[in-house]
Amino acid sequence: MKMRVSYWHNNRDIRIEEVPTPRPGPGEMLVKVISCGICGSDIVEWYRLPRAPLVQGHEIGAEVISTGDGVGRYKPGDRVFIAPKVPCMECGYCRGGHYPQCTEIKVRLPGGFAEYILVSDALVQKGTYLLPENISYDRSTFIEPLACAVRAQKLAGVSSGQTVIIFGCGMSGLLHVKLARAKGCRVVVTDVNAKRLEFARRIGADISIDAAEDVPGRLVSGSGKKADAVILSTSALPAVEQAWKCVDKGGAVVFFAVPGPDKSVTVPINDFWTKEIRILTSYYCGPPDIEDAIELIQSAKIKVDDLITHRLPLDRIAEGFRLVIDGTDCIKVIIRPNDVSTS
C-alpha cells in the first residue's frame, strides 16, 4: 500500500512522492492526517534547509487507523492531536519548566504533510491528546501555535489590565491578540498590511498602527503609556528597533520570532539598565501549555475558525506555501492531505 507525501527541498521546490505506508510496531500507531496547518516557521529557509529534504507539518489533527501491540489508550477511529516532540519531564531543564530546551528529546513526529504518519512509542505515550468533541480537525491545527503563544505570554507575565503591543499580525500575532484580549489586556497591534490591521481590530485589538508610522509615539498617544509587554511576531529588523522604544519600565520584550542568523540586533542595554527591562525569547511550548491551549479552544475562550482562510489538498501544497510566503491574502492555510483536489 502506497501513500502520498510532500517533500520540501526549499520554498520553490516541493515535491509530492509516493512511499510505502508504514505499519505500526509494538507501542506505535498509524494515523490518517486530516488537517495540518502551514506554520510561519515552515517557510523560514535558514531554519529548515539544514534538514532538507524533509516532510514538514507539525500542526496536526488526525484519526487513528491502527495500533501496535501494547497500545491500550487509543483505538481506531479516535480523533487526536499529536505534539511534534515531547520532553522527558525529568531532566533539570524540564524540572525548571524549560520543556523546549530538554536535551533528552530524541524522537520527532514525522511531518504531517502526508496522508498517513507513524507515531512512535514515545509520542503515543507522552505526546498524543484525544480531541474534545467540539474541537474539529481544522481547529486542532491551532493547538500547537496557540500553546506557543500561551508560553510566550506566561514568560512575559502578561496579565489583566496591562498594555500589550504585538508586532506582526500574521497568524501567530493574531493568536497573541486573541489571547491577550481574553486576559483582559489593552491590545495594540502594528503591521505593514492594512488588511491584517483591520482584521486585528475586528477580533479585539484596541489600537492598530501602520508600521510605517511613528509606532512608539502612536502607542503612547493612543494608550497613555508604553507597553508592559512587547511581543515580536515578526522578524523584520525595523520592528525590533521600534520595539525597544515601546517597552515601559519594568516591562518585557519577547522575541517570538527572530531575525536570521546573518542579521545583527543591537540592544540598547544602557537605556534598559535602570528601567529593569527584560528581554526574553520564546521557542516552542511544553505539555502544560498544550493542555491550556486545548482548554482555551474547547471552552471557546479563544475562537479560531475566523483565522482560517484556505483549505487545500496535498497536491496544492506549493500554492499554500506561496500564499504564506506572500502573506497578503491569507492568515491560516490548512493542508488536508486526504482531500481530493478539485482544481
CATH number for position 103: 3.90.180.10
Residues 42 and 134 in one domain: yes
Residues 40 and 93 in one domain: yes
> Among 5, 6, 35, which residue's Cα sits nearest to residue 21?
5
Residues 116 and 230 in one domain: no
For the record, the C-alpha cell of 317 comes out as: 501544497
Residues 138 and 150 in one domain: no
Q: Is 236 exposed, middle or buried (0-12, 13-18, 19+ CB in 10 A)?
A: middle
The answer to whether the beta carbons of residues 137 and 61 sit under 8 Å apart is: yes
Q: If you write DSSP's letter for every residue of 184-201 in order, what string do you get?
A: T-EEEEEES-HHHHHHHH
- Structural domain of residue 106, as residue ranges? 2-142+304-336
Q: What is the DSSP letter of 144?
A: H
Residues 137 and 151 in one domain: no
Distance separating alpha carbons of residues 341 and 281, to the nearest angstrom: 40
Within 10 angstroms of residue 137's Cβ, the number of other Cβ atoms is 20
- Look-up: residue for cell 511576531? 233
Residue 342 has a pLDDT of 60
Residues 63 and 76 in one domain: yes
Strand intervals (E) in 175-313: 186-191, 207-210, 227-232, 247-255, 278-281, 308-313
**Average pLDDT per block of 10 residues along the chain, 343 residues long:** 96 97 97 97 94 95 98 97 94 95 87 97 96 98 98 98 98 98 98 96 97 97 96 97 98 97 95 96 96 98 98 98 94 95 62
| Residues whose CB falls within 8 Å of the CB of residue 111, separated by 6 or more in sequence, listed in order | 5, 6, 54, 55, 56, 57, 58, 117
Assess if residue 295 is contained within a domain: no
Residues 39 and 90 in one domain: yes
- Summarised one tens digit per residue, pLDDT across range 144-169 is 999 999 999 999 999 999 999 999 99
